[in-house]
Amino acid sequence: QVQLKESGGGLVQAGGSLRLSCAASGRTFSSYATGWFRQAPGKEREFVAAITWSGGTITYADSVKGRFTISRDNAKNTLYLQMNSLKPEDTAVYYCAGRSISTVAAAYDYWGQGTQVTVSS
């Protein structure tokens, strides 16, 4: 059984930065692709970024391209999301997910509980 646990969320002013982490346990982390999604109140869960197990392929949503960076450390079983130049519209609960590089949430088998990111204007 795979468990994913996010951390690093919080309150930040617009223009600031946060780094999210997702610690994985269970099935070998290095064997599967992983991604980040977010969900704002009253909105559907949306794709943010994804990365293959090797880091060789990375995709981003257009809304975060150039501001967010996804990375992973397989030795530490950890996925990261560096978020720079944050905007109020980035406010959401951020989730890490496993076993796909798809932009579609339904393609993922594993999910964390989420971490709240709030960006004030």
Q: What is the pLDDT along the chain (121 residues), one digit of tens a residue?
A: 889 999 999 999 999 999 999 999 987 888 889 999 999 999 999 999 999 999 999 999 999 999 999 999 999 999 999 999 999 999 999 999 999 999 999 999 999 999 999 999 9
Q: For residue 5, report the phi and psi dihedrals to the nearest 5 degrees.
A: -135, 120
Non-local CB neighbours of 54 within 8 Å, separated by 6+ positions: none
Determine the distance from the C-alpha atom of residue 27 to the mean position of all C-alpha atoms in its chain, rounded to a whole number.
19
* Alpha helices (runs of H) in 1-121, residue ranges in sequence order: none
